[in-house]
Structure 1
Amino acid sequence: MGTSPANEATRALEKRLRSDSDHFAYGISYTEDSGPIQTTVMLRALDEKAALPFRVLLEEVDTTAWTHTLREGGFPTFEAATQWWEAHWDRDKPQLPTASPATRATAVPGLPARPAPPRGPSR
């Protein structure tokens, strides 16, 4: 019933978030329904050694096309994430810092990494 992803980047981020959902803890979210529809969600990495442990997800809805875009920003501290959050909702339009793939958590702390799937015969 909801909106469709507006682009491939949104689809890829949604897919990664579904697979990484056990790497982060939910912090807070806010949705603005009047004017442009936007939702922000703040997450914290469960891995205490993550380079950018605080993440902000920003979803923006295009009510004309009935699509949405999703972006992710990475922050080194709760204070930095909160400063971006407050500036965004104060309508200052701050740039959402990119969360580099190299800084994302790749394994749940304390659990072994999953083995690679078996490879078929070479041709």
Structure 2
Amino acid sequence: MEKRLRSDGDHFALLTSYTNDDDPVQTTVMLRARDEKAELPFRVLLEEVDTTAWTHTLREGGFPTFEAATLWWEAHWNGDKPQLPTASPATRATAVPGLPARPAPPRGPSR
């Protein structure tokens, strides 16, 4: 998704963004498609950083109206934690390690 956002960056206009530096670190970005015929013209990007595991998750949600995107935004930052609606079938949450992960603990004997 990050690669697509870099290559399609001129297809969207930035409306607003907000970063909360408390743990967990979260950044939200609201975008509007420049194409008037876009099915879901309003997008919200949500990045969450786990400073303990050194990973980040980037999600994208699509909204048909500015009002719908704003309602999600306000609910999220008020602590309600609503699900971010999927922008497309190809969009899914992805955790990307920032540093090598610690090995998983050994598993006990199988039964």
**Which residue identity is paired with 1:87?**
A
| Equivalent of residue 88 in structure 1, options 76, 88, 91 | 76
Q: Which has the higher contact order (CA 8 A, sep 6+)?
A: 1
Superposed counterparts of 1:1-123, under 5 Å:
13-100=1-88
Match of 2:6, SS state, is helix
**Aligned pairs, number:** 90
Relative to the length of structure 1, the TM-score reads: 0.71
Q: How big is the alpha-carbon RMSD for the aligned residues of Structure 1 and Structure 2?
A: 1.2
Q: Percent identity?
A: 84
More helix by share: 1
Relative to the length of structure 2, the TM-score reads: 0.78
Match of 1:22, SS state, is helix
Unaligned runs of 5+ in 2: 91-111
More strand by share: 2
8 A Cα contact 2:47 2:58, kept in partner: yes
Unaligned runs of 5+ in 1: 1-12, 103-123
